[in-house]
């Protein structure tokens, strides 16, 4: 399994966004994670198509867009047009998950589903064949810099077991509190894609931190 590190620009300095993205590229980031929040599904507001389009102009790396919004389908077309490569929607915000995932793929993007800490992996049993990525939230979504929820490790293992049982190769992404002290446990449990906001952007050497996180997975591979 290949490790992917996806710095989340939620923790970036937006006054220097171009430099921050360049730092991610130089540090060897695989994807750029963009958190879209609507102040309704989560108690925080961030950004939308305009910022996706801006980041698209700054890098050729895949843009991993995490939609923490109600009625996510309203934004699919705009976000794909803006340059999103992966669109991940929340199971809790998508009553017609099967149709919504199909729509994302129809638009040419990779389709992801995210699970809040309280939502069981088994709730995705009927859409396993329709996803390219399964995102296990390792904090309650809404803010960067929160503490990793330990119970998530078992959930990652359940997600891996579900995909393996069905012979699927979808990515398993983890998001929230991923740092030097948590990443290896998630990797061992079966995650391969790691979102890191605070761990990268608040590090003394942000560029080096991307490689340091990746190396911690290598050690246990």
Any residues with CB less than 8 A from the CB of 195 and at least 6 apart, and which? 6, 7, 8, 33, 64, 66, 173, 174, 175, 176, 178
Q: Does position 90 bind ligand DX5 by CB under 6 A?
A: no
Token digits of residue 103:
């729509």
What is the SS3 assignment for 40? Answer: coil
Site for Zn ion in 6-45 (CB under 5 A): 35
Q: Does position 141 bind ligand DX5 by CB under 6 A?
A: yes
**List 3, 4, 5, 10, residue binding ligand DX5 (CB under 6 A):** 10
β-partners of residue 193 are: 4, 173
Q: Does position 56 bind Zn ion by CB under 5 A?
A: no
Contact 177, 147 (CB under 8 A): yes
35 is catalytic: yes
CA atoms within 13 A on the CB side of 24: 33
164 is catalytic: no
**List 64, 132, 173, 175, residue binding Zn ion (CB under 5 A):** 175
Q: Which of 30, 130, 175, 192 is catalytic?
A: 175
Site map 126..155 versus Zn ion, x via CB under 5 A: ------------------------------
Any residues with CB less than 8 A from the CB of 11 and at least 6 apart, and which? 144, 145, 197, 198, 200, 201, 202
- Region from 57-65, 143-151, 154-162, 164-172 binding ligand DX5, contact rule CB under 6 A: 143-151
Q: Which are the catalytic amino acids? A: 35, 175
Which residues make up the interface to ligand DX5 (CB under 6 A)?
Answer: 8, 10-11, 33, 35, 66, 139, 141-146, 175-178, 195-199
């Amino acid at each position: 399994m290949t490790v992917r590190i996806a710095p989340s620009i939620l923790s970036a300095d937006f006054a220097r966004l171009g430099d921050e993205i360049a730092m991610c590229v130089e540090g060897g980031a695989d994807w750029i994670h963009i958190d879209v929040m609507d102040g309704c599904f989560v108690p925080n507001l961030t950004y939308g198509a305009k910022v996706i389009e801006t980041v698209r102009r700054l890098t050729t790396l895949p843009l991993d867009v995490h939609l923490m919004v109600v009625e996510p389908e309203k934004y699919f077309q705009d976000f794909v047009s803006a340059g999103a490569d992966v669109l991940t929607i929340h199971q809790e915000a998508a009553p017609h998950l099967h149709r919504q995932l199909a729509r994302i793929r129809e638009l040419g993007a990779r389709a992801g589903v995210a699970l809040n800490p309280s939502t069981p992996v088994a709730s995705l049993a009927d859409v396993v064949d329709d996803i390219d990525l399964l995102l296990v939230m390792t904090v309650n979504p809404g803010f960067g810099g929160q503490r990793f929820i330990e119970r998530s490790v078992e959930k990652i293992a359940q997600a891996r077991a579900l995909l393996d049982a069905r012979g699927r190769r979808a990515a398993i992404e983890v998001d929230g509190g991923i740092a030097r002290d948590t990443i290896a446990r998630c990797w061992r449990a079966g995650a391969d894609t790691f979102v890191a906001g605070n761990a990268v952007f608040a590090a003394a050497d942000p560029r080096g931190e991307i490689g340091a996180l990746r190396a911690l997975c290598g050690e246990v591979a």
